[in-house]
Amino acid sequence: MSELRVLAPTAILGYGFPIQSFEAGLRRDPHVIAVDAGSSDPGPFYLGAGVSFTDRNAVKRDLELMLTAARKRKIPLIIGSAGGSGGEPHLKWNVEIVEEIAKEKNLTFKMAMIHAEVSPKLVLDKLASGKISPLSPAEDLTEEELAKSERIVGQMGMEPIIRALEMGAEVIVAGRAYDPAVFAALAVYRGFHRGLATHLGKILECASIAATPGSGSDCMMGYLGENYFQVEPLNPLRKCTTMSVAAHTLYEKSNPYLLPSPGGVLDLSETQFHQQSPRAVRVTGSKFIEDANYTIKLEGVKKIGYRTVAIAGARDPIMIGQIDEIIDSVRERVADNFGEKKLEYFLDFKVYGKNGVMADLEPVVETKSHELGIIIEAVAHDQATADTICSFARSTMLHWGYEGRISTAGNLAFPYTPSDFRAGPVYAFNIYHLLEVSDPCELFPIELCQSGEVGA
């Protein structure tokens, strides 16, 4: 095979895509349809709670189009980081949707489920043998911290996906995976250059975000040859430029030349970007340097409490001019009111229109907003305490008597009733470490079945 073609329909499964773009990709006769289904960007809650950050109906809509097209053309469909976070409940959730579509569309295929959730016992054994090291800014992992973990996943490379292809899988639903792996696996399996395949996967993982104007809800086509890869958006409203593709290459990376990945480093020191046509960019020179020891990134979360929030607005310019002092006073009043109860809690005020986005890093000192959006957040070990702190902080701020106040009816405007919302459990990442393995597949068991047999 002189060229391998990869269709990437959307940045994340469930983000959607225009049918016209998808059909344009199918007309280019792809060898594989691949999609990344998850990310750690939405935060630790989804991994800990075992739920998806994408909507089920939206995921099913995307999957129905992809699965039907892949089976009609007898090409693999590969899904990575199933269910958003790639843990066991996320994987089962995604597989359930695949099975539902297969039944409704009368589709039959061999499916591989690649599990990525890692047991604390395994991690403890690896920790004892010195096989775990921290990723900055994480600290050394301790047994005490490990014991607090609610769920741990390993971020697989392309090797488990390649093994599933070797086993004859036609549909692959993988747990937590390195984003480019699902796009590069078939290419490496068929003998293409690993460096170019991985770099192509790095561009395709977010689909048309690498185009201009960029979109995470539109399709991208990748072409991989012996010494190049090429990317092209499938919507005529978009185009790839050397700038847009090079910029996306650096997306979420701290080093512009060396991009770490499972098993090695993508070396871009000799990479070149060429404007092949007005809408397509060709890339050459990317190399993959294998690590001496293969490592897998572990992601783990712990529960730290429960959250309650209140959303309010402020319009009084006198209050806006004193907002920092008012917040400090409200904090002191809350602490004084519950001091004898010795309640443990976290209380925060996010002020949008002042520094709600960047907080202490905000370079603009003077607030010129005519109105502010204020989010009052309370976190405590139990939901009742979080409710108490949020409620008291909200009512105190509502009636706080600041200097120069004219109206006594209330300082805050609430867009909703009830004003306070229970946000439920709060999680934090507590494992962000590298685990050294002797086999890239050892953490990721593969379960092969015929469609319709899962859970039967």
The percentage of the chain sitting over the pLDDT mark of 70, rounded to a whole number, equals 99
Confidence (pLDDT) at 451 = 85
If you count them, how many residues does the chain have? 456
394 is a domain residue = yes
Determine the structural domain holding residue 294 and report its residue range. Answer: 4-299+431-450
Is pLDDT above 80 for 452? Answer: no
| Together in a domain, 54 and 184 | yes
HEC per residue, the chain: CCCEEEEECCCCCCCCCCHHHHHHHHCCCCCEEEEECCCCCCCCHHHHHCCCCCCHHHHHHHHHHHHHHHHHHCCCEEEECCCCCCCHHHHHHHHHHHHHHHHHHCCCCEEEEECCECCHHHHHHHHHCCCEEECCCCCCCCHHHHHCEEEEEEEECCHHHHHHHHCCCCEEEECCECCCHHHHHHHHHCCCCHHHHHHHHHHHCCHHHHCECCCCCCCEEEEECCCCEEEEECCCCCECCHHHHHHHHCCCCCCCCEEEECCEEEECCCCEEEEEECCEEEEECCEEEECCCEEEEEEEEEEEEEEEEEEEEECCHHHHHCHHHHHHHHHHHHHHHCHHHCCCEEEEEEEECCCCCCHHHCCCCCCCCCCEEEEEEEEECCHHHHHHHHHHHHHHHHCCCCCCCCCCCCCCECCCCCCEEEEEEEEEEEEEEEEEECCCCCCCCEEEEECCCCCC
Q: For residue 294, list its beta bridge partners.
A: 437
Q: What is the mean pLDDT of the chain?
A: 96
421 is a domain residue = no
| Together in a domain, 395 and 267 | no
425 is a domain residue = no
| Together in a domain, 438 and 405 | no
| Together in a domain, 286 and 324 | no
| Together in a domain, 61 and 179 | yes
pLDDT in tens, 4-21: 999 999 999 999 999 999
| Together in a domain, 199 and 118 | yes
- Count up the domains in the chain and report the number: 2
305 is a domain residue = no
pTM here? 0.94
310 is a domain residue = no
pLDDT in tens, 328-358: 999 999 999 998 889 999 999 999 999 999 9
| Together in a domain, 348 and 444 | no
Q: In angstroms, what is the C-alpha Rg of the chain?
A: 25
| Together in a domain, 340 and 278 | no
| Together in a domain, 337 and 234 | no
| Together in a domain, 177 and 295 | yes
422 is a domain residue = no
Confidence (pLDDT) at 455 = 54
pLDDT in tens, 357-411: 999 899 988 888 999 999 999 999 999 999 999 999 999 999 999 999 998 889 9
pLDDT in tens, 123-177: 999 999 999 999 988 899 999 999 999 999 999 999 999 999 999 999 999 999 9
Rounded to an integer, the average pLDDT of 107-113 is 97
Confidence (pLDDT) at 204 = 98
| Together in a domain, 360 and 251 | no
With beta carbons less than 8 A apart as the criterion, state whether 387 and 420 touch.
yes
| Together in a domain, 234 and 288 | yes
Confidence band (pLDDT; 50, 70, 90) for 456?
Answer: low
